[in-house]
Amino acid sequence: MPSFEIRERDLLARIGRFETKSGVAETPLFLPVINPAKQIVPAKDMKRLFGCEALITNAYIIKKQFGDEAARKGVHRFLGFPGVVMTDSGAYQILMYGKVEATPEEIIQYQEEIDADVATILDIPTGWKVSKDYARRTVDETLKRARSLGDVRKREEIAWVGPIQGGIYLDLVMLSAREMGRLPFQVYALGSPTPVMEQYLFDLLLDMILTAKMNLPPDRPFHLFGAGHPFMFSLAVALGCDLFDSAAYSIYAREGRYMTEYGTFRIDALEYFPCSCPVCARSSLKEFLDMPREERMEDLAKHNLYVCFSEIRRIKQAIAEGRLWEYVEMRAHGHPSLFQVLKQLRKYQDYLEQHSPLSKRSGIFFFSSLGLSRPEVTRYRKKLFARYSPPRDAKMLLLLPRSRMEFYRRKRLYKRFFKEVYSMIGKDADRIHVCTYSSPFGVTPIELEDVYPLSQCEIAHPPDAETIRYLADQVREYINKTGYERIVVLSNTNTWEEEVVEACIQASSVKGVPCKAVKIERGLDKRLLTNLVATIKGMS
């Protein structure tokens, strides 16, 4: 029986072991689309050249053009590919031409006859720019066909795919996912995303993927049909897409388009090859352009595949290191539509946090306000305000700025400084509670400083305007939810710290708590020590 075992997680991404009757493939898994009628790169070369573990082909086209021959040989021998073979059912042809010349039952039976490892029911794709009534009919008919699978199928060892329809109507996507999730499919898939991706509507794709994911069993692989370009692979994986297919490598090659992990170029518009794959390394650009058209097209398709598979390996490494967020953020700067999606992730930040690992092998990098939606930030904020209380005897909050360089690399200096402060204050020193403030976590009580990921992060300073507003709001909320009787806040001569100080003073005023600000002029020197002690004693 097909099985799926998760080995590593980061965000919603999973490195998993997907076992089928023909072997095991590791997710995230890219499946090149093989046109059985015209293979620009032969399926038999996929494993040798690219380490390809799985591919996808169209069962309807095979049935229509090769019929009994493919059934007699089996799809693996027919294509010359020994790995995992997934078959689509002809739904794309329904989307393009309105119908296919086969019944849903015939397509199920034929996929069993050709011995597919992963097979898809003949669903009705919702498509793009359709009415909600039509979209509802596609959902209902697809569910009807999905429920009848058990009456038609005869082989238990094939993994069947349950497609989610509904298109841009998220309430229908939710309904489709919930109902499909009640059926015993081994793989679930989002149908009809291609038109959305072709128009770079990645914010809508985000909603479609996560609406489906949030209403499906989490222990099954999730497939994204027609994922397209490698520059969005990391986003798809981060959103929980375990499998995805694409024919773009061959379509682009026929059009003379050269893929990179950050965009696409017309091959005749390039000045240099920005790649060192075997195709690009063995000839100059001029020699490449002088090749016969068919040979050039095949080599361009191979290059495009090298880019796709290399990107998948980089994504897997990022998952293993716990740095997928940073990787997605880097890729998002490659196109404004991707950048916009990362901003839109904020509305799903609680779901991301719930399904992300509690700790990682390495610390995190925080660059800008995009990182405010990352699970580590969301989780800290929720736990701080839901579970943390200051020490019972703490009457005064001493709030000071922190950067990684300033606080951790000079931690001994800080300890000596506050030891002197406490000794000069005397018996009331234990009533002072020291906290720091910094992006992206806001207020951090001193006793939590070494808890992951608070001390395992590198932060870009100064923070941007949105991060400063977030930090100021965090300070206000912390003061509002705690019971300090006096507050002293320190700041350097940075403008952004002044905004946090102002937020602190405003929040204290609302609560009716006295608040004093102390400027750090030249570091932790005698002058600061004197001013700070005088301020604390003056408020006692």
Q: What residues form DSSP beta bridges with 445?
A: 435
The number of C-alpha atoms within 13 Å of 402 and in the hemisphere containing its C-beta is 29
Token representation of residue 376 = 């580590």
Per the CB < 8 A criterion, the answer to whether 165 and 126 are in contact is yes
88 is catalytic: yes
Of 184, 250, 176, nearest to 220 by C-alpha is 184
- Please, what's the b/e burial string for 386-412 (b: 16 or more CB within 10 A of its CB; e: otherwise)? eeeebeeebbbbbbbbbbbebbeeeee
Return the amino acid letter for 49: L
The answer to whether 144 touches 170, Cβ cutoff 8 Å, is: no
From the list 485, 479, 486, 488, the residue with the least C-alpha distance to 518 is 488
Task: Give the contacts of 182 (CB within 8 A, at least 6 positions apart).
Answer: none
Structure tokens at 524: 């932790």
Long-range Cβ pairs for the range 134-137 (8 Å, 24+): 135/165, 135/166, 135/167, 135/168, 135/169, 135/172, 136/169, 136/172
Catalytic residue from among 88, 207, 245, 299 = 88
56 close to 159: Cβ distance less than 8 angstroms: no
**Which ranges of 243-292 would DSSP assign to H, the alpha helix?**
248-254, 278-281, 285-289
Among the listed residues 289, 253, 513, the one whose alpha carbon sits nearest the alpha carbon of residue 399: 513
- CA 4/CA 397 separation, integer angstroms: 51
Number of Cβ within 10 Å of residue 9's Cβ equals: 17
Nearest to 429 by CA among 418, 445, 442, 438: 418
Distance separating alpha carbons of residues 341 and 200, to the nearest angstrom:
10
**What does the block give as tokens for 391?**
């020490």
Q: How far apart are CA 4 and CA 186, in angstroms?
A: 9
Instruction: Measure the CA–CA gap between 105 and 183, rounded to whole angstroms.
Output: 18
Q: In the 3-class helix/strand/coil scheme, how is 296-325 assigned residue by residue?
A: HHHHHHHHHHHHHHHHHHHHHHHHHHCCHH
Strands in 41-82 per DSSP E = 54-58
> 3-class DSSP state for residue 366?
strand
Residue 535: Cβ within 10 Å count: 16
Answer whether the bond into residue 221 is a cis peptide, omega within 30°.
no
Q: Which residues are catalytic?
A: 88
